[in-house]
Amino acid sequence: MLGEQVHFIKSFYLNSLVALAYFLGGVIGSLLALEPSNSSPVWPAAGIALAVVLIYGRRILPGLFVGVFGTQIYISFGPDSVTAASFILTLIKSIASCLQAMVGAMLIRHFVGKQDVLLDLSEVLRFFLYGALLSSLVAPTICISVFYLQNILSAGDFFFAWLTWWVGDAVGVFIFTPIVLAFFAQPEAIWRPRRFTVALPLSLLLLCLVFVFFYSQQQEKERINRLFEHRVERVQHILEGEVNTYKNIAENVVGIFNASYVVTAAEFRVMARSILKQHPGLIAIEWIPRTIEYSELGERKVRFPIQYVEPYEPNKRVIGFDITQNTVALKTLNKAINTGKALSTGLIHLFQDSEHYRVASVVYAPVYQKNMPTENVTVKADYILGIVAVVFTIEDLRTNTLSALVDNQLRIKITSNDELFYSNFSDQRLAPISFVSLQTSKTMHSAGNTWQVTYRPSEQFFSNQITWHVWWVMLGGFVFTCFATVGLLVLTGRTAHITEQVKLKTRDLTHVNQQLKEESILRQQLELEQLTRNRVLERLAKGEACADILAEVILGAEKLYPESLCSILLLDESGKHLIQGAANHLPDFYNEAVNGLAIGQGVGSCGTAAYIGQQVIVEDIMTHPYWASFTGLAKRAGLYACWSEPIISSKGQVLGAFAIYYREAKKPDQSDLDFIKRMASLTAITIEHKQAEDELRIAATTFQSHDAVVITDVQGTVMRVNQAYTNITGYSAAEVIGKNSSLLSSGRHDKDFFRDMFASLTEKGLWEGEIWNRRKSGDIYPERMIITAVYNGEEISHYVGIFSDISEKKASEEEIERLAFYDPLTGLPNRRLLLDRLEQAVISTKRHNNFGAVIYMDLDYFKSLNDTLGHQIGDELLIQVAQRLEGAIRTEDTACRLGGDEFVVLIISRSDTSLNEMIEHAALIAEKIRNKINQPFELSGGMRSFSTSIGVSVFPDKAILPEEILEQADTAMYRSKHMGRNKVSFFSAQMQEEHNRKSSLERMLHSALSEQQFVVYYQGQTNSDGKMLSAEALLRWIHPEQGMVSPAEFIPVAEGSDLIVEIGSWVLHEVCRQIKVWQNTGFYLDHVAVNISPRQFRQDNFVQQVAAAIADSGIDAKYLMVELTEGIVIEDIQVTIDKMLQLQAMGIAISIDDFGTGYSSLAYLKELPLSQLKIDQSFVRDINVDASDEVIVEAIIALAHKLGLEVIAEGVETKEQMQFLYEKGCERYQGYYFYRPMPAEELVQ
């Protein structure tokens, strides 16, 4: 970021200097500009522009354009003369000037050279031919052409203006380009001396040219100014005479009217036409009589309507026109009447010339009655007869003034009271861009009006006044400048060229001598180096130890560089640490310190070189950051420079590092760097050779390993095998050598398999994987194989295969997979595999816009089967159910056992399956499954019939996760159970909402228990007289936001989770506590009944919970009654009876709640230790309506009496119901007819 800011500041500074330099050069050139084109015979800015573009290139174009534009604004505009047209012309000039500099630079770079220093004549001539003579054509050609097209220049001025501009730009390049190059161009050694030999003489020459031209120009300007003033005086005299003539005409016509008693229209016509014939420039002569009109109210109104006008045809529209309607005319008319003089108006737009909208002036002369007695102004107005009007303009080319202007080559502008009367100046939009300075203004007084007259020379004026004197001066200066510039550059170029040649020859000679000396030293070093190489190779051939050979390498290197200390460090097997290889003369403490050094970026020279695999040169150990942690060690060893080269094998692997140390800071030259590389290469050869020997020994041992090894040629012909190969395949070496390795092919793999195998061997030189082969016995078995390509140069010569028999491993994997993904009892996929397949099915259906379905089934009353007949019978049933499921579905569908008696079938959609089609198909499969399950099963205990409840969910829908889809199907299955079992239900949005509502309730229930939102209400139980004998405890939930929540909503949700256990325990304790509170106040009931949920009753410690509640409250157990549903009683009957006996032993009475709605067995009923039967309210509600309910109620009461049980009816809401129950022998009643459920405090009241 900082670098970018610095670059921007430098660029801005450079562009600003360029803009300023061009502006100053333009100001100097403008002082010599010639009219009318404002071209200058010397334009320094052109030379500056070319020079800066050559030196700095395109990056200074912004500054150059700003300088050019600013210069043109300065030259062309005054402070109040900026218009859109002039601005555009100035912009064109600026673009043309910049384009000229760019074209010149481009031509020079192409035909001369980008950085040519102009040493010989041909280069100098080409430089100025393209940079001055040719490129200087661009700006004058564009700009002078634009001036001509815009009528700023005449055709006569075109060539002289273009030539002046071209010469000025060319001279500017000849003088100022070399001057700028001398100060700023590179190389400075060539251009710096030219500041005095070229720049200074050219600057003096410029002063001389400016002086001579300025003198000649001033002489010419004075002559032209005198001529201009003379011609202006001549035209001004003619103009004043013509205007006075129009006044005289008006006065003469007045005389005619004064001399005649009446002037008729015919007489006026003759007189006027005579005058018009002599003065064709007049527009009209008019007679305007005064008329007086009176309104109906008697008001007097004076009008001056035009009566006569000549010439008639072009002016007939004005007949009858009242001139008093024109405010300008009225003002002059009144003044003329009052003074009696002929007066001219200001500028008037003619009524008769509305199409052309010409501007004219009118001379009004009054005509009075002949007997006017006085000169009083007021009286004169009363005696006026009319007005003679003479209308004139300058626009008519027949006027003397316009003829004089053309003859004298002038242009004129006439204004009256700042209003334009006439002008033949050029386009006023381009006035600011005109370079003509000649202009003069005159004032003319005539007929009572004042006229301002401005004169300028026409385009022809300058073209007729141009003299060749100035041109010859300009041409002479141009030619002299050319010769002087070229001569100076050639002269200084030759001197610089000779000096450069002398330097080059001297340098070459010195270089040759030095090269010969270095070659002699190098030859000696190479001979010593070759001797070292030969000794190393000889010791390698003898098989000497690697450490001894590396020491030989060090010894040879230190002989070649006597002042050096060398070392070889090798990478350990991990490739992360350096260990000692050889270091003949380094101190022992130093070698011990670096032995085992971890490589890394910045870990000394050798540690870094081995880490990055590149040469590392440290010229000064004491200051280099790589040695910051080792400076003390190096200083103690006297080491101050270290050059390290990584030792790299022929395969590009880093083996270690070769280092050269010096006892002083030292910088290597190229020969030193090359030497280190050669020593590192020799070390690599040594290490690789020794490693190859070690690998051969290891390979010989490995060949006899437990893994089979086979070596083939590139065609696959077996060349060698080991004993393990024979043990695994059954083939001996004699049976396979010379035969193709495909001998073992099992036929299980297609051509693509082997094509991929050989492609990997060709590209990577390696293939690894599992393959099925055939033993000699014919058995097919799996192998884990690695095949490696052996190269001879760049060509593969052999293949080495190593493999092992993985039959046992495969069997173990299959067993693990079976245990992980399959149910061990039924062999069906388990939940994990189902979720995986369901996830893939969801992705597939979404991708192909299809549908699938999940069928969730649960066996009805399976738990009872398990409990009564045992788990072995249950397992038999589950196995047969699995078999029937697989027989009911397609091969592409999946049957799964989730656990217990829950099964799931995943139906995979085929292509183009619509939602309705999938629903129909899923319903068909579900019914098929239900029918198969309904058929009897043959179990060890005999034939048994079962049913199943089934839920179906179709996907994809709102649920996209596999768990959500299963949950939907599960919800639908429970709906089937609630509908009476053995049903098929589809999941719907309503079921989902119900499920969400239950989930929300379950979450709120957790908070309700901890935040004490539950309360216990009590409903009284009475005898037939209405006396309260006992009560039933009823749980209520008062939510802080939703208010009272119906028990019908939250009780089923609580019973579906473990919350019912906690809630039931709280209710037991709360009821016992309330009984104690009542008794302390003297309020006693026979008992309070508490409903027990099935989940709570099945708790192993339920009896202990009841005992604890009674003990904590301190009440007698007889005041508590436990109400159980029929469902609790018949499930696990023996355990139920045991718990009931324990409660009865404690003194607690037991009641069967909702009797008659379940599936109780009367055989069990007589064995249960009961105290009371409660008739369900569903029977009581319709006893006066439904005869069946009356029979059932009567039967229940009779049954209870036979068993010696008390009977109570719930839901009694009318007197008729109570009367019927009483007549049938019911002893107790509960319902709204007697008491509503209410808080404990209200029950006492």
What DSSP string describes 760-801?
HHHHHSEEEEEEEEE-TTS-EEEEEEEEEEEEETTEEEEEEE
Residue for token pair 């129950």: 1221
Same-domain check for residues 171 and 31: yes
Tell me which of 660, 691, 722 is where a domain ends: 691
User: How confident is the model at residue 105, as a pLDDT?
Assistant: 86
Whichever domain contains 907, its CATH number is 3.30.70.270
Within-domain flag for 812: no
Instruction: Give a yes or no: residue 529 inside a domain.
Output: no
Q: Which residues contact 714 (CB under 8 A, 6 or more apart)?
A: 796, 797, 798, 799
What is the rounded distance in angstroms from the CA atom of residue 333 to the CA atom of residue 250? Answer: 13
**Helix (H, G, I), strand (E, B), or coil: what is residue 907?**
strand
62 preceded by cis ω (within 30°)?
Answer: no
In tens, the pLDDT along 540-566 reads: 777 788 888 888 888 888 888 888 999
- CB contact at 8 A, 26 and 75: yes
Task: State which of 427, 461, 495 marks the end of a domain.
Answer: 461
The stretch 366-372 carries a mean pLDDT of 81
Higher local confidence (pLDDT), 123 or 357:
123
In this prediction, residue 80 carries a pLDDT of: 47
- pLDDT bin (cut points 50, 70, 90) of residue 116 is low
Residues 6 or more apart whose CB falls under 8 angstroms from that of 439 comprise 454, 455, 456
Task: Encode pLDDT of 288-304 as tens digits.
Answer: 998 888 877 778 888 89
What b-and-e string marks burial along 417-446, b requiring 16 or more CB atoms within 10 Å of the CB?
A: eeeebbebebeeebbbbbbbebeeebebeb
**CA–CA separation, 51 vs 182, rounded Å?**
10
**Residue owning tokens 């200058």:** 40
CATH of the domain at 800: 3.30.450.20
pLDDT score at 379? 64
- Residue 516 belongs to a domain: no
Cβ partners under 8 Å of residue 682, min gap 6: 532, 533, 536, 553
Residues 258 and 392 in one domain: yes
In CATH, what number is assigned to the domain containing residue 567?
Answer: 3.30.450.40
| Residues 787 and 756 placed together within one structural domain of the fold | yes
- Considering 959, 987, 1015, which residue would you say is the last residue of a domain? 987
* pLDDT at position 932 over 60: yes
Range from 392-396, 633-637, 824-828 carrying the lowest mean pLDDT = 392-396
Token code pair at residue 23: 């502006």
**pLDDT exceeds cutoff 90 at 1188:** no
| Best CA proximity match to 423, nearest among 411, 409, 441, 408 | 411
| 1205 and 1096 part of one domain | yes
Least confidently predicted of 268-272, 393-397, 524-528: 393-397
Structure tokens at 545: 């130890």
Residues 1002-1052: pLDDT tens digits? 788 888 888 889 999 999 999 988 899 999 999 999 988 888 888 888 887
Q: How many domains, the chain? A: 6
- Please tell me the predicted confidence (pLDDT) of residue 33: 61
Give me the pLDDT at residue 1092, please.
92
Rounded distance between C-alpha atoms, residue 710 and residue 802, angstroms = 7
> By residue range, what is the domain housing residue 682?
543-691
**Would you give the DSSP letter of residue 220?**
H
Amino acid identity of residue 104, one-letter, is G
- Which of 928, 864, 935 is CA-nearest to residue 901? 864
- In this predicted structure, the answer to whether residue 894 has a pLDDT above a threshold of 80 is yes
Distance CA 693, CA 681 (A): 18
330 contacts: CB under 8 Å, gap ≥ 6: 323, 324
pLDDT of residue 608: 92
Q: Which residues does residue 721 pair with via DSSP β-bridges, in sequence order?
A: 710
pLDDT at 1112: 93
What is the amino acid identity at position 1196? Answer: I
Residue 483 counted as domain residue: no
The CA-atom distances, in angstroms, between 35 and each of 158, 206, 494, 498, 909 are: 12, 21, 42, 48, 95
The vertex-1244 CA angle with 1242 and 1245, nearest 5°, equals: 65
Q: Does 521 reside within a domain?
A: no
Question: Quick check: 1148 and 1170 in contact, CB under 8 A?
Answer: no
**Is the separation of the CB atoms in 730 and 777 below 8 Å?**
yes
**Which amino acid is located at 749 in the chain?**
H
Phi-psi category of 296—alpha, beta or left, where left has phi over 0 and alpha has psi -120 to 50? alpha
Shared domain check, 248 and 225:
no
Q: Is 230 exposed, middle or buried (0-12, 13-18, 19+ CB in 10 A)?
A: exposed
What confidence tens digit (pLDDT) does each residue in 687-705 have? 888 777 766 665 655 666 6
Q: What is the mean pLDDT of residues 775-804?
A: 87
Whether 61 and 146 map to the same domain: the answer is: yes
CATH of the domain at 1192: 3.20.20.450
Average pLDDT over residues 809-813: 75
Looking at the domain assignment, is residue 468 inside a domain? Answer: no
Q: What is the mean pLDDT of the chain?
A: 83
CA–CA dist 436, 454 (Å, integer): 14
Nearest C-alpha neighbor of 584 from the set 557, 621, 606: 557
Lowest mean pLDDT among 202-211, 647-656, 1000-1009, 1014-1023: 202-211
Q: Are strands 1014-1022 and 948-955 parallel, antiparallel or unpaired?
A: unpaired
Whole-model pTM?
0.35
* 686, 737: one domain: no
What residues form DSSP beta bridges with 454? 413, 441
**676/708 same-domain check:** no
Q: How many CB atoms lie within 10 A of CB 929?
A: 24
Question: In whole angstroms, what is the distance from residue 802 CA to residue 692 CA?
Answer: 20
Range 660-688 burial, b when 16+ CB lie within 10 A, else e: bbbeeebebeeebeebbebbbbbbbbbbb
Cis amide linkage into residue 956, ω under 30° from 0: yes
Distances in whole angstroms, Cα of residue 1015 to Cα of each of 993, 1068, 1079? 28, 12, 20
Confidence of residue 996 (pLDDT cuts 50, 70, 90): low
Mean pLDDT over 346-359 rounds to: 64
Domain-embedded: residue 513:
no
Q: Are residues 1135 and 1072 in the same domain?
A: yes
Residue 101 contacts residue 64 (beta carbons within 8 Å): yes
Query: Does the pLDDT of residue 516 top 50, yes or no?
Result: yes
Distance separating alpha carbons of residues 1191 and 1209, to the nearest angstrom? 14
Top-confidence range, 273-282, 473-482, 870-879, 953-962: 870-879
Please give the residue that has the higher pLDDT: either 763 or 121.
Answer: 763
| Domain shared by 1077 and 1116, yes or no | yes
* Same domain, residue pair 172 and 71: yes
pLDDT digits (tens, 9 = 90+) for 1104-1119: 999 999 999 999 999 9
pLDDT at 591 over 50: yes
Confidence bin at 470 (pLDDT 50/70/90)? low
Looking at the predicted structure, is the pLDDT value of residue 357 above 80? no
Phi, psi (deg, nearest 5) at residue 983: -125, 165
Report pLDDT digits (tens) over 3-32.
677 778 888 888 888 888 888 877 877 776
Band of residue 618 on the pLDDT scale cut at 50, 70, 90 = very high
The number of residues in the chain equals 1245
pLDDT at 54 over 80: yes
Measured CA angle at 239 (ends 234, 243), to 5 deg: 155
In this prediction, residue 428 carries a pLDDT of 47
Residue owning tokens 């070390």: 683
CATH code of the domain in which 457 resides: 3.30.450.350
Whether pLDDT at 518 is above 50: yes
Which three-class secondary structure state does DSSP give residue 348?
strand
664 in any annotated domain:
yes
User: Residue 238: what pLDDT?
Assistant: 83
Nearest partner of 937 among 896, 862, 881, judged by Cα: 881
Q: Cα(446)–Cα(236) distance, rounded to whole angstroms?
A: 13
Same domain for 636 and 563, yes or no, is: yes
Q: For residue 375, what pLDDT is reported? A: 61
Q: Are 519 and 552 in contact (CB under 8 A)?
A: no
Strands 641-648 and 766-774, bridge-based pairing: unpaired
Residues 772, 555: Cα–Cα separation, whole Å = 57
What pLDDT score was predicted for residue 1008?
86
